[in-house]
């Protein structure tokens, strides 16, 4: 991670919505997170705000996470980024994707809620 990226993250200019953690060999990388440049006018030439960023973990943690992520249907999802004294920390968890029937149920609930709000709005 570059110095300007650290400053940008500390000022809260990171978006982890839609990002995930991938494994390459014995290493973990954050993919899909967007870190805006700290000073856009002074950003280095060719700066890519969505590039993959390597995560630093202990070997035992990496082995444990790799074992868990090999299980069918599990994905590593970032939950939050925070500052611990001088270090930036990324909290992530193992998530299982929704089944199709669960998605349909959520869509039905969302539609019903929308209709109720429309009815209350016009009363």
Residues 8-50 pLDDT 10s: 888 888 888 888 888 888 899 999 888 888 877 777 788 878 8
Cα Rg for the chain, rounded, in angstroms? 19
User: How much is the pLDDT for 36?
Assistant: 83
Task: Provide the token pair at 96.
Answer: 């299982």
CATH topology of domain 3-96: Small Protein B; Chain: A; (2.40.280)
pTM of the predicted protein model: 0.71
Q: Distance between CA 82 and CA 12 in Å, rounded?
A: 9
Residues 75-87 pLDDT 10s: 888 998 888 888 8
């Amino acid at each position: 991670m570059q110095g300007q990226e650290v400053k940008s993250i500390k000022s809260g200019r990171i978006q982890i919505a839609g990002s995930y953690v991938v494994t390459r060999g014995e290493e973990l990388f954050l993919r899909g997170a967007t870190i805006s440049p700290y000073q856009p006018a002074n950003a280095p030439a060719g700066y890519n705000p969505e590039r993959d960023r390597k995560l630093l973990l202990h070997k035992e943690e990496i082995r444990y996470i790799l074992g868990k992520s090999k299980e069918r249907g599990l994905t590593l999802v970032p939950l939050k980024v925070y500052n611990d004294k001088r270090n930036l920390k990324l909290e992530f968890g193992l998530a299982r994707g929704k089944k199709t029937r669960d998605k349909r149920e959520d869509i039905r609930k969302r539609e019903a809620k929308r209709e109720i709000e429309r009815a209350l709005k016009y009363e």
